[in-house]
Structure 1
Amino acid sequence: MAAEAGLTSDLVKVVALLGAGVVAVPVFRKLGLGSVLGYFGAGIVIGPFGIGLFSNPEGILHIAEFGVVMFLFVIGLEMQPSRLWGLRSSIFGLGIAQVLACGFLLTLFGMAGGLAAKVAFIAAMGFVLSSTAVVMQMLNERGETSTPQGQKAVSILLLEDLAIVPLLAIVALLSPQQGGSEQAWVSFAIAAGALGGLIAAGRWLLNPMFRVLAAAEAREVMTAAALLVVLGSALAMQLGGLSMAMGAFLAGVLLSESTFRHQLEADIEPFRGILLGLFFLAVGMSLDLAVVAREWHLVLVAVIGFMAVKALGIFIVAKLFGSDWREAITRVALFSQGGEFAFVLYAAAFAAGIFDPRITAIASGTVIISMALTPLLAIALDRFLPAPPTDLDGIEVADGLKGQALIVGFGRFGQVASQALLARGISVSIIDFDVEMIRAASQFGFKLYYGDGTRRDILHAAGAERAEVIVVCVDRRQTADAIVRLVQAEFAHAKLFVRAYDRGHALDLVHVGVEYQIRETFESAMVFGTALLKCLGVPADEAEAIEADVRRRDDERFDLQLAGDLYSGRELLRSNAPTPTPLTKPKRPGQIPANLPDDIGGES
């Protein structure tokens, strides 16, 4: 009975962990706060200082660290050695400069707050090590991992992961206990041996091993081997006194040019996502609310002071290394928190007798709160930082154009639609808001001008008052609607041809009186369906008759909806739900249902 009760208790905890993440993350993302903050909040609620479902978050945090480990392995798979070599200046230049500058400033701040020099130094260096998990998760959510700025962020994180090694050695040297110096040299020797062994295994062992396993054609064995590589490399680094995450990253880099790279990434991804979420939950659980409440004034000063001082150091280093002010501020928002390696460093300092329990609790609480604040800083950055200026180098802005037709938007649809006009020799003016599209089109002989079609002055400069027809080919419904309203109000003489997003949009456009509209995928889908019939053996004349019948039924249904039988009380130029009528079954094989469903969306 006792064993059964224990099993039930463990199952309740597992369900609570999964439930907390499943409920909190969608809510926080819906509120625009991001998944990381959702996990933190859920962890606080179910942790020992919330409703108390878990009394030992340290144990969960220890297991959940493998989420960070797997995350770094996946990042390593994307970092070919040549690419990593290309980042060497950022890793050992920018990274070292940021760690040293921030560490120096934070140490001075800690000493000014009354801490002993070595205590202030360890507290400062722990806070310098930003959270790899938080920063990488935010870069992924923002889609910036592969951008130049994202690559610099990855470089700094890699250097900070490496920095944990000498920092742990420094803790041993600063320890009031005996044998610190000797232990430091032994640690360095073991670390070097572990690093060399891992590189040798990756160079000569991993690829042959995966070739043998692939030949066995056992999928589950490949998954087990992927986990073995990640966890084995992490274990090797941990035994050598290095960062587990650094070991996993190095293993990923060594396999980045392997033919099994994509298979490994697919095998690791489910484990990575779950364990990384569990890590954030455990960090939230670890926030000692009792200490925060009792020492709230110290924690408040520490959080604000450490984040502000670190932000200053990051900004200064970024500017010294040639970043513009926008990139520097963005890096401040991403890196001004402490990270998970601070817990490792603080635990080592406590074990070495440098930290007492009170300092350890306050320092750890400061790091956790700073990690929770980072997503909020990023949200504030996106909301209040002005949009980056558009680089118009080599791009002509619309001004004084005189085309007989004005095309707004030159994506896939606009490119095809324009060809008939250009082939006939009709004068056409084309504007687009996408600078990269304009540059790409110029390589194929198209002359495009930069301009936002939702602005009256831009349309005037593009020649809208002289154009006989204005062709709206943008891919967003809201943008198309704004252009239609503006043209009808300011350039009523011009005929409007508009790309409709879907059936509901087409009805709206007819209601407001555009000369011509077409659903963006309708014609291609009709031709596609007819080709399918012919491929399946239907005679060509019958396939074409079926196509004509489908078109006729669609026109009838469209006319009914336009008359208001199905779309009564519609507001002009707004999205609408599809017709909620059920399908009727065909009365005989090959008969088309009388009320086919309306199209409810379109391609972007």
Structure 2
Amino acid sequence: MAAEAAGGSELVKVVVLLAAGVVAVPIFKRIGLGSVLGYLAAGLAIGPFGLGFFADPQAILHVAELGVVMFLFIIGLEMRPSHLWSLRREIFGLGTAQIALCSAAMTGVGLLFGFPPVVAFIGAMGFVLTSTAIVMQILGERGDLALPRGQRIVSILLFEDLLIVPLLALVALMAPPEPGAAAAAAHSRWADVGIAMASLAALLAAGIWLLNPMFRVLAAAKAREVMTAAALLVVLGAALLMQVGGLSMAMGAFLAGVLLSESSFRHQLEADVEPFRGILLGLFFLSVGMSLNLTVVAANWPLIVGGVFALMLVKALCIYIVARLLKSCHTEALDRAVLMAQGGEFAFVLFSAAVNARLIQAEIGANLTAIVVLSMVLTPVAIIVLRRLSPKTALSLEGVDEPNGLSGSVLLIGFGRFGQVVSQSLLARGVEVAIIDTDVEMIESARSFGFKVYYGDGTRLDVLHASGAATAQLIAICIDDRAAATSTAQLIRHEFPQARVLARSFDREHALELVHAGVDLQVRETFESAMRFGEAALIELGVSADDAAEVVADIRRRDAERFELELVDGVRAGVSLLYGNMQQTPLIAPKPRQHDPAEAEEHVPGISA
């Protein structure tokens, strides 16, 4: 009975943890505060200083750190060795500059607060180590991980994760030895270095020669659950190996991910690990919220509150200065400064090691830990405040050209996926095309593939004139905005009657709007692909190609008839629908030879549909 009662008690704790996250996170996201703050608040509510469901949050924190480990493994899967090598300047250059300035400045803050030099240095170095979990989660929610600004932040985080290793070694070197144990301590330190190097070598060897053959064997067995177990084995095994060597578990998982990034099993591994990563990372944030010792905060609140704001302000200022010195714009530098202004989970490890080594007192260690936890709690709040207080800045057009006196047979408005595919046929036939779009990042990306795309809003008459609409034979509206597409079509039809107007429509209702706006041709973006897909499906099921084409033609005819019935009076004469036989004079005289579609791809490399 006692065993059953104990088991029931543990089950209650599991249910409470799940319920806290399930209730708090949607509420906080709904009110715009983000999932991280929701987890932290839920942890505080159910922890020892809230409802008291948990008395030892550190025990949960040790398990929940596996969420950070799995997060780093997934990041590693995305970081191919060549890509990682391309970030070497950001990792070692930007990372070194930021850490050097921040550690020096925050050590000075510690001295001003009256701490001895050793304590001030350890406190500063612990606060330098940014929370990988919080920053990665926020970057992921914002969709910034793959962007250049996100990659720079990831590079700094990787360098900081590497830094925990020499910091722990430095704590061991600074620790006062036991009387008469100096020789043994020196021998132990050299032994620790040897074990760390051996663990790292073992992980690299396993990643290069063992993991891929193992996954090939498991894949041949076709046991889905075994593949999932193997993915967890790789992550946890790499973490354990690094922990045995005295290194960072998260760094071990990251290296394992990098070693598997070129593997054909990469996507399967990511899918297997992702659910565990999400649950454990949420558990990590819950346990951080539980770890906020309100008793310590209440007893030393002037020191802790002052330390939180002083360290966060100084760290943010140093990060901003380094970012600006290394040519980041004001907006990116400010965002990075606020996002990385907190201490991180590795600070707990560093402070614990310092207390065990008798470099700092236990009470001071508790105060420093409270400062770090509070900084982690305040980071999502600071980001929200920054977002709401920051004025909406004008769009930066640095390095982007605006249209001025353009000319061409075709004006293409919108160079997203739809517009890119449309351009292939035109460019393959040598048609002179002027292209405008309002997405600066897409314009810069297109430039890297050799395309000249100008920044311009097709709903503005002056932009259309500057883009050559007055002399264009054809204007193609390919923008991914329903309202803007309709207003652009109306403006073009009224101001540039010489041009034939083709437009991308989103659905049947939008197609009717465009017809009323006077377009010569509208194409529903999903209709054509769905018709081709249905025809191919019939052929795959054994229907002859002629019969399948006849079925599709009949569907097209009936759809066109229904469409015409839905048109109201006032549609201008001569409007052409996509769904009939269009007897129109071609704008460009066809060349005598049949053009190979593959050649179109060669004219526009790297542009995807």
- TM class, shorter-length: 0.7 to 0.9
Give the CA deviation at 1:129: 0.9
Instruction: State which of 305, 312, 326 in structure 2 corresponds to 1:307.
Output: 312
Distance 1:8 1:560, change over 3 A: farther
Instruction: Tell me whether 261-270 or 307-316 shows the greater mean CA deviation.
Output: 261-270
Do 2:434 and 2:467's aligned partners in 1 also have CA atoms closer than 8 Å? yes
Give the CA deviation at 1:66: 1.2
Distance 1:182 1:308, change over 3 A: farther
Give the CA deviation at 1:444: 9.3
Instruction: State which of 327, 340, 354 in structure 2 corresponds to 1:349.
Output: 354
> Quick one: which amino acid aligns to residue 5 of structure 2?
A
Which residue does the alignment assign to 2:111?
Answer: 111
Question: What secondary structure sits across from 2:399 in the alignment?
Answer: coil
Question: What secondary structure sits across from 1:407 in the alignment?
Answer: strand
Do 2:199 and 2:245's aligned partners in 1 also have CA atoms closer than 8 Å? no
Supply the distance in 1 between the matched residues of 2:459 and 2:192 (Cα, whole angstroms). Answer: 61
Distance 1:145 1:407, change over 3 A: closer
Supply the distance in 2 between the matched residues of 1:438 and 1:456 (Cα, whole angstroms). Answer: 21
State, as a whole percentage, how many aligned pairs show the same letter: 58
Which residue does the alignment assign to 1:192?
Answer: 193
Distance 1:427 1:267, change over 3 A: closer
Which residue does the alignment assign to 1:460?
Answer: 465
Do 2:197 and 2:245's aligned partners in 1 also have CA atoms closer than 8 Å? no
Which residue does the alignment assign to 2:2?
Answer: 2
Do 1:126 and 1:342's aligned partners in 2 also have CA atoms closer than 8 Å? yes
Supply the distance in 2 between the matched residues of 1:482 and 1:9 (Cα, whole angstroms). Answer: 63
Deviations 1:472-511 (A, max 9, x none): 2112324324534655787789775431111232244445
Instruction: State which of 230, 238, 253 in structure 2 corresponds to 1:233.
Output: 238
Supply the distance in 2 between the matched residues of 1:408 and 1:292 (Cα, whole angstroms). Answer: 59
Which residue does the alignment assign to 1:317?
Answer: 322
Give the CA deviation at 1:81: 4.3
Distance 1:8 1:410, change over 3 A: same
Distance 1:3 1:558, change over 3 A: farther
Supply the distance in 2 between the matched residues of 1:89 and 1:441 (Cα, whole angstroms). Answer: 25
Which residue does the alignment assign to 1:208?
Answer: 210
Do 1:199 and 1:254's aligned partners in 2 also have CA atoms closer than 8 Å? no
Supply the distance in 2 between the matched residues of 1:440 and 1:313 (Cα, whole angstroms). Answer: 31
Q: How does 1:427-576 map to 2 (within 5 A)?
A: 429-434=434-439, 448-464=453-469, 470-484=475-489, 487=492, 497-510=502-515, 516-539=521-544, 542-555=547-560, 557-558=562-563
Which residue does the alignment assign to 2:150?
Answer: 150
Deviations 1:116-139 (A, max 9, x none): 322222222111111111222233
- Stretches of structure 2 that go unaligned for 5 or more consecutive residues are 570-607
Give the CA deviation at 1:305: 0.6
Question: What secondary structure sits across from 2:476 in the alignment?
Answer: strand
Which residue does the alignment assign to 1:23?
Answer: 23
Which residue does the alignment assign to 2:364?
Answer: 359
Do 2:203 and 2:241's aligned partners in 1 also have CA atoms closer than 8 Å? no
Distance 1:220 1:359, change over 3 A: same
Distance 1:492 1:5, change over 3 A: farther
Supply the distance in 2 between the matched residues of 1:72 and 1:528 (Cα, whole angstroms). Answer: 39
Give the CA deviation at 1:61: 0.4
Deviations 1:355-402 (A, max 9, x none): 445433332222122222323444455563736623436x5x322345
Which residue does the alignment assign to 1:270?
Answer: 275
Q: How does 1:290-439 map to 2 (within 5 A)?
A: 290-379=295-384, 384=390, 386=393, 389-392=396-399, 395=401, 397-401=402-406, 406-414=411-419, 429-434=434-439
Instruction: Tell me whether 131-140 or 175-184 shows the greater mean CA deviation.
Output: 175-184
Distance 1:457 1:341, change over 3 A: same
Please, what is the CA RMSD of the aligned residues? Answer: 3.8
Name the count of aligned residue pairs: 564
Do 2:416 and 2:479's aligned partners in 1 also have CA atoms closer than 8 Å? yes
Distance 1:240 1:184, change over 3 A: farther
- Stretches of structure 1 that go unaligned for 5 or more consecutive residues are 565-602
Which residue does the alignment assign to 2:168?
Answer: 168
Do 2:200 and 2:242's aligned partners in 1 also have CA atoms closer than 8 Å? no
Give the CA deviation at 1:64: 0.5
Question: What secondary structure sits across from 2:210 in the alignment?
Answer: helix
Supply the distance in 2 between the matched residues of 1:107 and 1:448 (Cα, whole angstroms). Answer: 49
Question: What secondary structure sits across from 1:287 in the alignment?
Answer: coil
Deviations 1:159-200 (A, max 9, x none): 322322333344445556736966764564244223322233
Supply the distance in 2 between the matched residues of 1:77 and 1:531 (Cα, whole angstroms). Answer: 36
